[in-house]
Homo-oligomer: A and B are copies of this chain.
């Protein structure tokens, strides 16, 4: 949550925003370069050329900063997916989705981990705002996959269909449980591939992850 100060948008407010962005940029760079393994307020401040406590003008706490980075990451991933799938031929949409998802993850593995790996120590990954953001990502996924094919080959069991419908209702959506099931399956398979890839598991086998992705895309298409 943003420190509530200087609400009227003067020059100071503009500078504020810029500094906040600088802080976030450096935080991500440090995570990316694996320097400090976990976010460190002091390390960020040091690189910004400022004392540690100074950052408390911009973020109420370390967790607060972290939460913002996570929310940003959810947003960016959703944007990347939307950009890749929008106006795509329905037949191509699934493949475009899969490739965009992987591309984002391997381009920014540290941010992908921020979203889906065990959160950094002592950090509550289940604050409402985070759950909401994750669900919003699922919406994007549902959007991208709706209409790709009228009848997915695999139908959820009655029990599962019930849970999926309930989930949609809770979110205010009227989703076809088969589509929801498909979205989850796609997400889960992509996550499996991508998370193994970014930890180097395929590289150490000498196997090209992109070829594996091609295979999974083919399998998903064949199931339609």
Interface residues of A, Cβ cutoff 8 Å to B: 37-38, 113, 116-118, 120-122, 125-126, 131, 134-135, 138, 154, 156-157, 159-160, 163-164, 166-167, 170, 181, 184-185, 187-193, 195-196, 199-202, 204-208, 211-212, 214-216, 218-219, 223
Contacts of A204 in B (CB 8 A): 126, 131, 134
**Known contacts A192-B192, A200-B126; is A207 also within 8 Å of B160 by CB?**
yes
Question: At the interface, is chain A mostly helix, strand, loop or mixed?
Answer: helix
**Known contacts A126-B200, A192-B192, A212-B185; is A206 also within 8 Å of B117 by CB?**
no
Copies in the complex: 2
- Whether the pair B163, A207 counts as a contact (CB closer than 8 A) is yes
Choose one: B122, B160, B166, B195; the contact of A215 (CB below 8 Å): B160
Q: Of all chain B residues, which has the CB nearest A138?
A: B205
Contacts of A156 in B (CB 8 A): 211, 215
- Whether the pair B185, A195 counts as a contact (CB closer than 8 A) is no
Selected A-B contacts with CB under 8 Å, 15 pairs: A113-B118, A116-B199, A117-B117, A118-B199, A125-B200, A159-B211, A160-B207, A160-B212, A163-B207, A163-B211, A166-B206, A170-B206, A188-B189, A188-B192, A188-B193
- Whether the pair B117, A118 counts as a contact (CB closer than 8 A) is yes
Choose one: B135, B154, B200; the contact of A219 (CB below 8 Å): B154
